[in-house]
Amino acid sequence: MAGETVLVVGGAGYIGSHTCLDLANKGFQPVVYDNFSNGHREFVKWGPAEEGDIRDRARLDEVLAKYKPAAILHFAALIEVGESVKDPVSFYENNVIGTLTLLSAAQAAGVNAFVFSSTCATYGLPQSVPLDESHRQVPINPYGRTKYIVEQALADYDQYKGLRSVVLRYFNAAGADFEGRIGEWHTPETHAIPLAIDAALGRRQGFKVFGSDYDTRDGTCVRDYIHVLDLADAHVRAVEYLLRGGDSVALNLGTGTGTTVKELLGTIETVSNRPFPVEYVGRREGDSTTLVANNDKARDILGWSPQYDLTEIIQSAWNWHAKSNQH
């Protein structure tokens, strides 16, 4: 498989760029396809970039004909849950219509190995924890619904059109390349770790915790933080699995370890050695008490297991934000 070209759609974004790094390290040729609305040209370091939108069929056809990729990795989605509630139309246009356009282009080009960046948000409110892949899927916001619709479409494309896919349901992506070449850079930033690190760096007033009365060990929500390089490794393994002829499958990507918000903030304070103000406010609508992955299936099918713990996640994120990400 070494030397195979992989089209990384949304490859200039956070998880996409780290996956390009891992693809290159493992002998693949990543080609980035991105409209740069949220991605960063500075993050395209391991292969060529082609500018284009996933809703632009003619441009997709052109790029697929030029590079003839063996597989497609699809990261190009709008992801901000709050924004999906305010502007669901954009989420359906990009995440659903855009993905269906990409799938049609892939089929026409004869590409039938497709890795889809999905989310644990497709499960909705957990009925049991840890969540495994058989948990019911009842998303509670437009973001989660758009991802779920694509998952359903991929099942039909597999059954009726022979397009094989690996659906990867992320839990909480975090951390950065340990060399500080790329990292988490969203505008606006809504994720807990970069917001708390910015507070420790004095770039914002402090950090707000939404809810301190949950039924957890310290009253704050529990989340499963997974290093972005562990996510990248799983994506490359998924490509290899499909290129070996593997069947379509949906897999959770998490560590299986839950961390409370208080524990997360404590780790950031320890790693940075910089205390910062924390304000406890009321619960936020739609927040689940606990989201933790059962990742057994990914271990069994891809031979994948996460390598990095919470301290390493925070150390790599701190390094990136403190030294590199001045934007």
Q: Which residues are catalytic?
A: 143
Helix axes 14-25, 228-243, angle to 10 degrees: 60
Cα 18–257–247 angle (5° rounding)?
Answer: 60
Q: Which two tokens stand for residue 6?
A: 């992989």
Q: Which two tokens stand for residue 9?
A: 């759609």
